[in-house]
Amino acid sequence: MKNFIRGIVLFGAGTILMSATLLAAAIYATSAESWSGNSKVGSVLFSGNYVNSEPLLLGFPFVVGVLLFVFGATIIGAEWYKEWLNEADAKLEKLKSETPHES
């Protein structure tokens, strides 16, 4: 149960950090006059070249948010799988004990 809670906390922190970073990049992208690459938001996130504006350096917090999100999801998935496996083993043992044995 402790690992499940840790996973939820990491998952939530990653979600909040990614969302805040993407929101800041989207808001800042509206005022960027030019950008490098295929998208304004991607350029703002990962320090593209701008004309008359300062880079926000949002790439590091975005990557940290993605990592927290992935680690949290992995922990939640592993704990869910362990619980599911234990329930399946218990059902199998119950079925084995209920069936009559011939001697």
Give the confidence band of 102 by pLDDT, cuts at 50, 70, 90: low
* pLDDT tens for each residue of 13-69: 999 999 999 998 888 888 777 766 677 787 788 776 655 566 677 889 999 999 999
Regarding predicted confidence, which is higher, 12 or 34? 12
CB–CB of 37/43 below 8 Å? yes
Please state, in angstroms and rounded to a whole number, the distance separating the CA atoms of residues 77 and 74.
5
Cβ neighbours of residue 23 under 8 Å, at least 6 residues apart? none
**Average pLDDT of every residue of the chain:** 85
Check: pTM over 0.75? Answer yes or no: yes
Question: Residue 103 corresponds to which tokens in the numbers above?
Answer: 């001697």
Q: How many residues does the chain have?
A: 103
Of the candidates 24, 15, 13, 19, the residue with the CA atom closest to the CA atom of residue 57: 24
